[in-house]
Structure 1
């Protein structure tokens, strides 16, 4: 069974820490505690994972992010990647033929995942969390215990 983990990008980026940084691989760009915990979870339990960016769409770990940006899903901006573009990217990056997609993020990603991957394949193990602090705890505990959320 082919499984894919999608993790949210996050506002804090490498350029906030190292302003002189050049274009950087996506796996090293996002610096928030939540993103880092999500990436640790994805690396622990999945062979395949990608980052979902409001500007760039689906980023594989080795994809290059050219420069800093400030854009988030759920905000009003013409620059936010469209559902059609996400569907095209999923096809181009061969992410669309997976059996299961696990999205690590809040409720704002539900509609996006359902539109791109379908309801039956999309799972949201953090959906019951009341905030980012609870999500962080859940991710860190799962990695520490080596037990995937909802699989115990």
Structure 2
């Protein structure tokens, strides 16, 4: 299982009259698209972590755009709340013995730790890189070379 971030740019930014669409098509930012390509290439299954909707499967339908973000402390009054995220997490029925790959910046680690109540092991292969541009470069390289990122290589 892999978890990827959603992202601010969405399909409705360029096509406001579009209507509903699948989550896998809704997020259009470069970082999200690279994470999505990476997940499709290296994971059996992935979910998108949205600050508005929580965990989305790629085929879940979104009705319209939104502008909500998690912050360094996790959830805010505008985001989906921790109790709802925990319920969604339980519904995913993940095996606590398996490591879940989490793509994204450092703010996601503590949030996922809280959601899983410390019962899930997460690998964060993008943590330790110096910024989003460097993360994107490593994602591109992994996709092109068909070589998964290793979280231990840069810690």
Does residue 136 (structure 1) correspond to residue 136 (structure 2)? The answer is: yes
| Separation (CA, whole Å) in 2 of partners of 1:116 and 1:34 | 23
**Distance apart, 1:50 and its partner CA:** 0.4
Q: How does 1:95-114 map to 2 (within 5 A)?
A: 96-97=94-95, 99-114=98-113
State which of 5, 17, 22 in structure 2 corresponds to 1:8: 5
| Contact kept in structure 2, 1:113 and 1:119, CA below 8 Å | no
Write the distance in 2 (CA, Å) between the matches of 1:63 and 1:97: 22
Q: What TM-score does the superposition give when structure 1 sets the normalisation length?
A: 0.90
Tell me what 2:150 maps to.
150
Distance of 1:33 and 1:51 partners within structure 2:
15
Who is 1:116 aligned against? Answer: 115
* Dislocated runs of 4+, deviation >3 Å: none
Q: Deviations over 1:76-123 (max 9, x none)?
A: 8412112221110122233x3351211110011011111223375111
Partner of 1:29: 26
Unaligned runs of 5+ in 1: none
CA contact (8 A) 1:52 1:59 kept: yes
Larger RCO (CA under 8 A, 6+ residues apart): 1
Structure 2 gaps of 5+ residues are: none
